[in-house]
Structure 1
Amino acid sequence: MNPVGLSLEQAPPFDVPLRFFLTAPFFLVLAAMVLLWHGPELFASRWLPAPLALTHLLTLGFMAQVMIGALLQMLPVVIGVTVPRPQWIAALIHLPLTLGTLTLAGAFLLGSPLGFQIASGLLGLGFGVALIAFNLAVWRAPVTSGTVIAVRCALGGLLVTVTLGLLLGGFFGWGLSLPIVTITTLHAVWGLVGWTVLLVAGIADQVVPMFHITPAYPCWLSRGFAPLMAVMLALWSGLMLGNREIATQLAGVALALGIAVFAGTTLHLLNQRRRKIGDPVLAYWRISLISLLASAALWLATSFLPALMPWSTVEWLLGILLIVGFAGAVINGMLYKIVPFLAWFHLQAQLLGRAKVPHMKQLLPDAPVRRQGWAYLVALLLLLAAAVYPPVFTYPAALALGLAGGWLDVNLWSVWRIYRQALSKGLAAV
């Protein structure tokens, strides 16, 4: 039972991606604790230490953990290229990434230059290993599919994001002289669009038709979206560094339109799915894509109507829509596809002909997935409300985010527990 297009015989050991997947929800809970501790004052400005710590707990602690874990699994299985010594590579990425994220958040909250220096070293090591390993693998891909093109572009986006992040670490840790506002803006946009959107687009090109039985993406979008967006990002960055305000705004409009095309096309494909059996993961995809469309619409609206709302509020809404709404929701949903499937696959490989293997719905039933999805949606809506009116909505948003993150971790650990029980029982029966 190998899904079409997957080379499962090349899959790395289960613990390679799982360590990232089980760690990630912990950072959602930590982010909720920061929000709960600092309260409504956190929304006063995105430049304060607490919101910067919160942002990196979400982007590095939650998003990057899962995205890197997914790449370690996806490159050999979907693209057909192996990452050498995957357990060593995973350890050399996971530990520095986890410790570096915690150290960076602490450095923001405590205002510690030493903390920024240590975090820069740890994160530089973790991402350096990841970029070298992934690029060596993906540029050897035997077939240059739309997914391969998008992953190559996304890794380029990650390289730019990490480089800019290390420069910012130099500013905070060593007093490096930088145009801090411009570099921070570039760092954020390359991270959210050049890395996150392009990687999700590359993965969606494979998993949306495969898992949800939809028509394939149009060839022009599958193969052209990521390169075009990467070129537009580079153009936008050059114009921003050159202080070409009107041209930068027009390039930003083009980026927003490109994002809207990808989101709208994916929603259209999901509405054409041929499998009519209910799938709770669809809700996560729809939350994600609607958030992406909303962020593009908000950017376009404020570009043409700058007096629509205060820019500080727009920044918060865009950040929440892109990080919690778009990236967080799709990552959450994909974890519910990936983890039970990997548990089932590795049990099949180890217990074939020896014992009965639980099917995926036994490993993770629909009910807890659906309920946690409602909790995540409530957290997203409360965070958006808190960005507009912090005094009323901040504490409920923090509690809802913590609940959604903790619930996700409980569900994933439940799969791991059932996997271990089934494996022990099956091996003992031989």
Structure 2
Amino acid sequence: MINPEFSLPLAVPLRFFRTAPLWLLLAGVLFLLEPSTVLSSRHAPEALALTHALMLGFAGNIMLGALLQVAAVVAGVRAARAGLAGLMVWLGLQLGVALLVAGLWFMQPLLLQGAALSLSLTLLPLAGWLFVRLCRSPACDPTSTGLAFSVLALVTTVLLGSALVLVLTRGAALPFAALLRQHVLWGSAGWAGMLLTSVAVTVVPMFLVTPPWPAKLVRLLVPGTFLLLLAMLCWPVLMPLLVLPAAALVLPLWRLLQQSKRCVDPARWLWAWGGLNLLLVFGLSPWQAEDGILDAVVLGGQFLLGGLLPIFTAMLGKIIPFLLWLDYRRQRPLAGPLRHMGQLFPERWLKYLGWLALVAGLCWPWGGVAATAAGGVLLVYALLLLGMLRQACCKAVAALVV
């Protein structure tokens, strides 16, 4: 259940959401600078830098903003000085991502070590605090439980990433290939996948007016995914089983979307398209080429551009106007020019972003010129999203002074 009275100050989640397109813009520029190098190998420094600009810069800002806001309104978890705490987390994340992207692009050990330190000092205390507060929260719904598991996956991802930095910069005697595989798994299926599942349980029925998710499924899906990832730490041969939690999320999602009362809402097909790509990526990833050339790059890019990008587009198109409208209603509870969220973020805006996300996801798998075109689409998408978010915020401010 959503409890708007526990909502964070508007600036806290909005700061993360408005920063995300800047990292997407940077990712598009980086890709267009070295498209052939990025596509040649997943181990190329340029490919690693681009991946983290997308996954930690773009997706990470959206996921952290959503995590903090949903934890507050669903489980009642918020810091005493939420505005200051949110600002410190935001600053630490941006500094860490900037150092990491620069360190990987130029392969500079000091920058990589600084990134590991900044991200560890920012994300590990945050995750620990969130986990304790979520466990102590009286809320026992699947979303709250799923958020607790997702922050554990975030901790694991950060620790594995820090270990990889030690191998790269200090020559630590650790199994690099195994660490890299687990880092990717815990970051994608763990942190991103479990958080996405937990948020979808709440936002899909709420914004798309669908029936609720099957109760037993949402109660078991995230804990089951977490246990599977734990088992894969010891037995990587279990990796093909990752398609099971993906299917358990996507197939019911499609069924719910078919029953949505908002049949013409662009968010409906964006969730469906993103879910299809997530299912394909997790189904095909165990059989990628052993040498990691191109196939891994294509699958990783499809996870980000075909899976996460359309779903995050749908989420931003609903969550941001909802937060702005909620803040407006809190300040103007009786009357005013804003009557519904669509006045802040029209559905045609979401449709424009959705088509760009669709084009990027369709172009990327073909590689070569088509993949380069996807990089250009990212630039247009990022600039358009930045402009739309600015206009939405300006509309909300203007309505308050009328």
Q: What is the distance in 2 between the residues matched to 1:252 and 1:113? A: 32
Q: Which residue of 2 aligns with 1:243?
A: none
1:276–1:69 distance in 2 versus 1, CA, 3 Å: closer
Aligned mate of 1:259, from 246, 249, 252 = 246
Q: What is the distance in 2 between the residues matched to 1:359 and 1:340? A: 9
Q: What is the distance in 2 between the residues matched to 1:185 and 1:311? A: 11
1:221–1:378 distance in 2 versus 1, CA, 3 Å: same
Aligned mate of 1:335, from 308, 316, 321 = 316
The answer as to 2:271 corresponding to 1:294 is: no
Q: What is the distance in 1 between the residues matched to 2:285 and 2:32? A: 28
Aligned mate of 1:314, from 282, 292, 295 = 295
Aligned mate of 1:184, from 176, 180, 187 = 180
The answer as to 2:46 corresponding to 1:59 is: no
Q: Which residue of 2 aligns with 1:223?
A: 219
Q: What is the distance in 1 between the residues matched to 2:169 and 2:88? A: 23
Q: 1:153, 1:230 within 8 Å by CA — same for their partners in 2?
A: yes
- TM-score, length of structure 1 as denominator length: 0.89
Q: Which residue of 1 aligns with 2:2?
A: 6
Q: Which residue of 2 aligns with 1:48?
A: 44
Aligned mate of 2:117, from 121, 125, 140 = 121
Deviation at 1:220, TM superposition (A): 2.0
The answer as to 2:263 corresponding to 1:282 is: no
Deviation at 1:172, TM superposition (A): 2.6
2:136 match: secondary structure: coil
Deviation at 1:357, TM superposition (A): 2.9
1:339–1:314 distance in 2 versus 1, CA, 3 Å: same
Q: 2:103, 2:109 within 8 Å by CA — same for their partners in 1?
A: yes
> Structure 2 matches for 1:388-407, cutoff 5 A?
390=368, 392-407=369-384
Deviation at 1:277, TM superposition (A): 4.7
Q: For 1:342, give the aligned amino acid.
A: L
Q: What is the distance in 1 between the residues matched to 2:149 and 2:399? A: 40
Aligned mate of 1:73, from 69, 75, 82 = 69
Q: 1:72, 1:83 within 8 Å by CA — same for their partners in 2?
A: no
Q: Which residue of 1 aligns with 2:358?
A: 377
Q: Deviations over 1:93-128 (max 9, x none)?
A: 101111111111111111111111111121112212
Deviation at 1:326, TM superposition (A): 1.8
Q: For 2:253, give the aligned amino acid.
A: T
> Structure 2 matches for 1:156-195, cutoff 5 A?
156-195=152-191
Structure 1 unmatched runs, 5+: 241-247
1:312 match: secondary structure: coil
- TM-score, length of structure 2 as denominator length: 0.95
Q: Deviations over 1:27-48 (max 9, x none)?
A: 1111111110002232111001
Q: 1:83, 1:134 within 8 Å by CA — same for their partners in 2?
A: no
Q: What is the distance in 1 between the residues matched to 2:34 and 2:244? A: 36
Deviation at 1:294, TM superposition (A): 1.4
Q: 2:338, 2:399 within 8 Å by CA — same for their partners in 1?
A: yes
Q: 2:157, 2:183 within 8 Å by CA — same for their partners in 1?
A: yes
Q: What is the distance in 1 between the residues matched to 2:179 and 2:263? A: 47
Q: For 1:17, give the aligned amino acid.
A: P
1:118–1:328 distance in 2 versus 1, CA, 3 Å: same
Q: What is the distance in 2 between the residues matched to 1:297 and 1:172? A: 30
Q: What is the distance in 2 between the residues matched to 1:256 and 1:366? A: 32
Q: 2:150, 2:195 within 8 Å by CA — same for their partners in 1?
A: yes
Q: For 1:421, give the aligned amino acid.
A: A
Q: What is the distance in 2 between the residues matched to 1:30 and 1:361? A: 29
The answer as to 2:84 corresponding to 1:88 is: yes
Q: Which residue of 2 aligns with 1:245?
A: none
| Rg larger for | 1
- Which sits farther off after the overlay, 393-402 or 36-45? 393-402
Q: What is the distance in 2 between the residues matched to 1:196 and 1:268? A: 22
Q: Deviations over 1:201-220 (max 9, x none)?
A: 11111111222122222122
Q: For 1:136, give the aligned amino acid.
A: V
Q: What is the distance in 2 between the residues matched to 1:256 and 1:297? A: 5
> Structure 2 matches for 1:387-426, cutoff 5 A?
390=368, 392-423=369-400, 425-426=401-402
Q: For 1:415, give the aligned amino acid.
A: A
Q: For 1:188, give the aligned amino acid.
A: V
1:46 match: secondary structure: coil
Deviation at 1:153, TM superposition (A): 1.3
Q: What is the distance in 1 between the residues matched to 2:152 and 2:333? A: 41
Q: What is the distance in 1 between the residues matched to 2:239 and 2:305? A: 21
Q: What is the distance in 2 between the residues matched to 1:320 and 1:263? A: 19
Q: What is the distance in 2 between the residues matched to 1:376 and 1:350? A: 35
Aligned mate of 2:32, from 21, 24, 36 = 36
Q: For 2:282, give the aligned amino acid.
A: A
Deviation at 1:351, TM superposition (A): 1.8
The answer as to 2:7 corresponding to 1:21 is: no
Q: Which residue of 1 aligns with 2:128?
A: 132
Q: What is the distance in 1 between the residues matched to 2:348 and 2:262? A: 18
Q: 1:135, 1:152 within 8 Å by CA — same for their partners in 2?
A: yes
Deviation at 1:252, TM superposition (A): 1.3
Q: What is the distance in 1 between the residues matched to 2:155 and 2:254? A: 29
Q: Deviations over 1:369-403 (max 9, x none)?
A: 101210111112112212xxx2x223312111111
